[in-house]
Amino acid sequence: MSDAKLFGQLSNAASIQDYTRAIDSITPEESASVASVQTLGAMTSMKMALSCPIFAGSDTLMEETSCAWARVTGSWAHQTSSADASGYSLNSVTYRLGAQKEIVDNWFLGATAGITQSWLSDVNGLSDTGGVAGDIAVSLKHQVGPWLFAASG
């Protein structure tokens, strides 16, 4: 937004509500929600790189295996406006593929890649945005009897 347009919005405010609306239109609080969602998405990516356990036999012991998988997830968040916070709606859909392969006895290499499309808008119609984010994570696991040692990043 240009300085002239910003000054025009602020100088034409006829009430406290108009002034608050003008300020909200240039500093939308809901934009901070995008950073939170991206952080959670990165954590999900690292967690999903670790996902190929199966039950061993008829008990509850888990073992690793080679596998390939696909997953589609969606999310919706809505915050209503209050005196302290702006309201917003955030929607997203993620497409994710992953695989894991036993590279030598009891050593597994895994990987996942995902792409997320998201849409964010404030409840007052003052701002909206959309975006696409991608992520990749790898994992290395070692199974020793009932113990599993794993790392992802």
pLDDT digits (tens, 9 = 90+) for 6-41: 667 677 777 877 777 666 666 555 556 666 666 777
Say if residue 89's pLDDT is above 70: yes
Top mean-pLDDT range of 43-47, 59-63, 66-70: 66-70
CA 17, CA 21: separation in Å to the nearest integer? 6
pLDDT (0 to 100) of residue 30: 54
Rounded percentage of the chain residues whose pLDDT exceeds 70:
82
Q: Are 97 and 113 in contact (CB under 8 A)?
A: yes
Strands annotated E in the chain: 53-55, 62-64, 67-79, 88-104, 107-122, 128-144, 147-152
Instruction: Give pTM, 2 decimals.
Output: 0.68
Q: Residue 120 carries which DSSP code?
A: E
Q: What is the mean pLDDT of residues 90-113?
A: 94
Question: Where does the pLDDT of residue 54 fall: very low under 50, low under 70, confident under 90, or very high at 90 and above?
Answer: confident
CA 38, CA 40: separation in Å to the nearest integer? 5
